[in-house]
C-alpha cells in the first residue's frame, strides 16, 4: 500500500525521500514536517554536525495547493556540508559500525563509500516521511509520542544528562532505551493470516531498521518471561459506553498481530554510538596491520533523536496498515469507511 524510498549520502548534496500511496485530498503543512526534522536534530549529546545543518524539507511533487494528489510525494533535504568528494579516505573500520562488513561486501577500496550511506543521516528521510504519515493519521485522531526511559542505565533527566557529560569527558558514547506510545488506534489493523501481515512484526522490523537499535519489545515484553499467564494477560470487559475494553495493557495494544484498541506501546534499546573520540583497536584494510579505528565527526548520545525516528518509523507502519484496512485512493472515502467500521464494531 504505502511505499517509501530514500537516497543520499551523509556528505552528499541532499537526502531525498519518495512516499507513494498517501490518498488524494490530504492537506499537508510543510511547517509540521520541518518541526519534526528539527526535533530529530535536538537533544543533549548531539555533535557539531547539528550546528551546521538546519534541516528543512522541500516538497517537489505529489501536491497541488498543499493538498495531496494521490501521486508519489518527493521530499528534498539539502545538506549544507556536501564535502563528500573532498573528504579523506577511511581505512580503519570502526567496531560496531557497518564499516568492515560493507567494505568486504561491496569490494570498495575506501570505507567512506560505506559510511556515507550507512550513516544515520539517512534518518532525516525517515522523519520527513513519518511526518506526512502523522498528518494522515491525525485525520483519524491517532497520536504518536515518545520519551526516553534510560540513558546509560540512568532514568532521571538530570542523571541522564550527567551520564552523557561523563561520556563527553571520557571521549566515549552512551546508549539507552526509548518508548513510543500510539494512542487512538482502532481495533483491527494488521492480521494474523500471514507472518508479514502481523502488525507487531511490521513495527518491530521498522524500528529495528533504525541505525543503532539492537532490541525491541512490545507491551510487557521480556516481563512475560517471569510471570504466570494469569498475571499478565489483559482481561476483557464490556460496557454500553465503552464497548469492549481492558483495565490493563500488558499486550501493548496488539494481540495475534492485530491492534486491539488499546494504546500501542513499544520500547527499543539503542547501543552507544560507534564512533569513539578515544578509538578502539582496529586494522588498516590496505596493510592488514593493527591501527586505531577511524574517528569521524559524531555524537555522544542520540537516544532522544532515535525516539523521534522511531515515532516516524511507527507512523509509516500504522498509516500503511490503516490504508490497508480502510482503502487508499481518496481521503473522503477512507473517512467514510472508517466511520462505518467503527459503527459496526460498536
The band of 163, judged by pLDDT with boundaries at 50, 70 and 90, is very high
Lowest mean pLDDT, pick from 47-61, 100-114, 246-260: 47-61
Q: Burial of 32 by CB count in 10 Å (0-12 exposed, 13-18 middle, 19+ buried)?
A: middle
> Is pLDDT of 48 > 70?
no
What confidence score (pLDDT) does residue 279 get? 96
Per-residue pLDDT tens digits for 66-77: 999 999 999 999
Position 235 scores a pLDDT of: 97
pLDDT bracket for residue 243 (50, 70, 90)? confident
**49 confidence band (pLDDT: 50, 70, 90):** low
pLDDT average, residue stretch 99-113: 97
Give the pLDDT band (50/70/90) at residue 157: very high
Taking Cα atoms as reference points, which of 160, 172, 175, 254 lies closest to residue 214? 175
Among the residue ranges 41-45, 225-229, 310-314, the one predicted with the least confidence is 41-45
Domains of the chain from N-terminus onward: 3-345 (3.60.150.10)
Q: Which three cell numbers stand for residue 248?
A: 490493563
pLDDT for 47 beyond 80: no
Range 338-344 contact pairs with CB under 8 angstroms and sequence separation of 24 or more = 338/140, 338/186, 341/186, 341/188, 342/186
Residue 208 has pLDDT above 90, yes or no: yes
Confidence of residue 346 (pLDDT cuts 50, 70, 90): confident
Report pLDDT for 276: 94
pLDDT band at residue 169 using 50, 70 and 90 as cut-offs: very high
Please determine, for residue 176, whether its predicted confidence score (pLDDT) is greater than 70.
Answer: yes
Q: What is the 3-state secondary structure (H, E, C) of the chain?
A: CCEEEEECCCCCCEEEEEEECCCECCECCHHHHHHHHHHHHCCCCCCCHHHHCCCCEEEEECEECCEECCCCEEEEEECCCCCCCCCCCCCCCCCCCCHHHHHHHHCCCCCHHHHHHHCHHHHHHHHHHHHHHHHHHHCCCCEEEEEEEEECCECCHHHHHHHHHHHHHCCCCCCEEEEEEEECCCCCCECCCCHHHCHHHHHHHHHHCCCCEEEEEECCHHHHHHCCHHHHCCCEEEECCCEEEECCCCCCCEECCEECCCCEEEEEEECCCCCCCCCCEEECCCCCCEEECCCCCCCCCCHHHHHHHHHHHHHHHHHHHHHHHHCCCEHHHHHHHHHHHHHHHC
- The reported pLDDT for the residue numbered 297 is 81
Report how far residue 126's alpha carbon sits from residue 308's, in angstroms, rounded to the nearest whole number: 10
Task: Determine the pLDDT at residue 43.
Answer: 84
Report, as an integer, the average pLDDT of 192-221.
97
What sign for the dihedral angle of Cα 28, 30, 35, 38? positive
Between 179 and 52, name the one with better pLDDT.
Answer: 179
Per-residue pLDDT tens over the stretch 291-326: 999 998 889 999 999 999 999 999 999 999 999 999
Residue 247 reports pLDDT greater than 70: yes
| Grid cell digits, residue 340 | 462505518
Residue 50 has pLDDT above 70, yes or no: no
Amino acid at each position: 500500500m504505502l511505499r517509501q524510498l530514500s537516497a543520499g549520502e551523509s556528505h552528499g548534496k541532499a537526502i531525498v525521500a519518495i512516499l507513494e500511496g498517501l490518498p488524494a485530498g490530504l492537506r499537508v503543512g510543510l511547517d509540521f514536517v520541518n518541526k519534526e526534522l528539527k526535533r530529530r536534530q535536538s537533544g543533549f549529546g548531539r555533535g557539531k554536525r547539528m550546528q551546521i545543518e538546519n534541516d528543512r524539507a522541500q516538497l517537489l511533487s505529489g501536491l497541488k495547493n498543499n493538498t495531496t494528489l494521490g501521486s508519489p510525494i518527493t521530499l528534498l533535504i539539502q545538506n549544507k556540508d556536501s564535502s563528500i568528494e573532498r573528504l579523506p579516505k577511511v581505512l580503519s573500520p570502526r567496531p560496531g559500525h557497518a564499516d568492515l562488513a560493507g567494505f568486504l561486501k561491496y569490494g570498495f577500496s575506501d570505507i567512506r563509500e560505506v559510511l556515507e550511506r550507512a550513516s544515520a543521516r539517512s534518518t532525516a528521510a525517515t522523519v520527513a516521511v513519518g511526518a506526512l504519515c502523522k498528518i494522515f493519521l491525525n485525520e483519524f485522531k491517532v497520536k504518536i509520542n515518545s520519551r526516553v526511559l534510560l540513558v546509560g542505565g540512568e532514568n532521571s533527566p538530570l542523571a541522564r544528562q550527567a551520564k552523557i557529560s561523563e561520556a563527553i569527558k571520557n571521549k566515549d558514547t552512551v546508549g539507552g532505551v526509548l518508548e513510543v506510545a500510539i494512542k487512538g488506534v482502532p481495533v483491527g489493523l494488521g492480521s494474523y493470516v500471514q507472518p508479514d501481515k502481523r502488525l507487531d512484526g511490521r513495527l518491530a522490523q521498522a524500528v529495528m531498521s533504525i541505525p543503532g537499535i539492537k532490541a525491541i519489545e512490545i507491551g510487557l515484553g521480556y516481563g512475560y518471561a517471569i510471570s504466570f499467564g494469569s498475571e499478565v494477560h489483559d482481561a476483557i470487559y464490556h460496557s454500553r459506553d465503552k464497548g469492549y475494553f481492558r483495565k490493563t495493557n500488558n499486550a501493548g495494544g496488539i494481540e495475534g498481530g492485530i491492534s486491539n484498541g488499546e494504546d500501542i506501546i513499544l520500547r527499543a534499546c539503542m547501543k552507544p554510538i560507534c564512533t569513539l573520540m578515544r578509538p578502539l583497536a582496529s586494522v588498516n584494510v590496505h596493510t592488514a596491520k593493527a591501527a586505531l579505528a577511524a574517528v569521524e565527526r559524531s555524537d555522544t548520545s542520540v537516544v532522544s533523536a532515535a525516539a523521534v525516528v522511531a515515532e516516524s518509523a511507527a507512523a509509516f507502519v500504522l498509516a500503511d496498515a490503516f490504508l490497508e484496512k480502510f482503502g487508499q485512493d481518496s481521503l473522503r472515502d477512507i473517512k467514510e469507511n472508517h466511520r462505518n467500521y467503527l459503527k459496526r464494531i460498536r
